[in-house]
Structure 1
Amino acid sequence: MTGLEATGITYTVGRKLLDDVSVTFPAGTLVALSGPSGSGKTTLLSIAGGLLEPTAGTTSYDGRSMWQGTGDPRPDVAFVLQVYGLVPILSARENVSIALRARGVDPAEADERAEAALARFHIADLGDRQVEELSGGQMQRVACARGFVPGAAVLLADEPTSELDEGNRGLVLAELRAEAERGGIVVVATHDPAVVASCDLHYSLDEGRLT
């Protein structure tokens, strides 16, 4: 199994947000990326997943660059975003389904798989709810369902448990573990020591540098 390699990553926007960071995210391993707010966790995930082009350095997986020149991730990459990124005018089910439709999956199949993904996070009963009707924790689980549903080779999750109680945090961690065990590359950016303790490998950032 190959890993996702980030080598010599520097990212500067007015100031250096990342400074010569080199990490490997191995397949089949649940990886934690920790650090205080502003340490560069989200920026590193965004570069690792191909959303941002580094100022210097390279990121690659399976022999190809993660940066595709557009800011769109490769089809084999999925994100759970810290800000959820849900579309307010769509239902919970539609927000999950759209991740599959964008990859060319037939709409009926996409909706069926979206239902199963919502059930995976114990929110199948919320499928018809509009986003504005959901609590923060429910929105976070919808965002998890959308990130997990493609079964992507690379899953990058930014603070996926920050709004969850202990029971639902355990549920999400178990599902992240399942993704790693099927051979995926799974990286979790987190402030939570309990999440870090649940992972196999831990990288810590502070002021844009590995500590």
Structure 2
Amino acid sequence: MRSCAAMLSVQREFRRHCPAEVDMLPVLDFSDVKTIAGWRKLRQLCGEWGKFYHHRIRAFSAEFFAFLLIILADLMIGMLVPEYTELSGVNLASLLVAGLVSTALIVSILLLVYLGNEVNEAAERHRFILNRTRCLLIAMKHDDESRQNTGLACSKEQLEKSTDMMASLSDELESESKVMPLTLLGMPLGYSLLSFLNFIPIGVVSTLVNFCGNKDNVSRCTS
């Protein structure tokens, strides 16, 4: 999606972290309807190509998250229920294993949230560039002198078709961002997902502090 945005603008903020080959490309000719339609098709191909990877990552993440919940539930029951503490054998090794597994999954979720949020916000970024360019084309359509100075060899009818196409594409992108966002664990990938999941590490850490703070359990947390 970064490369798709780079084709719409030469501004560095829209070309940051793009491949060098893409960064060398000029912007598209927005006065040509076929060019706009081609960009739309390219964007759809990029989305479909990445969708298969997203489905696979989402399935694996859900499975790992379910197993992590089982591990943490067993650990917390062992720390909260004295009768189960002896049975589960809570000790430093089990705490370290649970901590390592949790850390690995949390890092993976953070990475997925960062990358997925960028993809979900790409539609709004593309809409912004398209709407801004559309306003320029509308202004040029009503200003013959400006159209001649820019060297655009196109008629008002052609500009009218281009602006209509861009308006339709902008509406499509708006609907796409609302109907088909990238999701993880049933929620759109974004920083709101982190606020929903933060109760898990907070609850585990507070339970661990209370458990290890008890003088009867100090030996379990240190050996």
Q: What TM-score range do you get, normalising by the shorter chain?
A: under 0.3
Where is the strand percentage greater, Structure 1 or Structure 2? 1
**Larger relative helix fraction:** 2
Structure showing greater radius of gyration is 2
RCO (CA 8 Å, sep 6+): is it higher in 1 or 2? 1
TM-score (norm 1): 0.22
TM-score by length of 2: 0.21
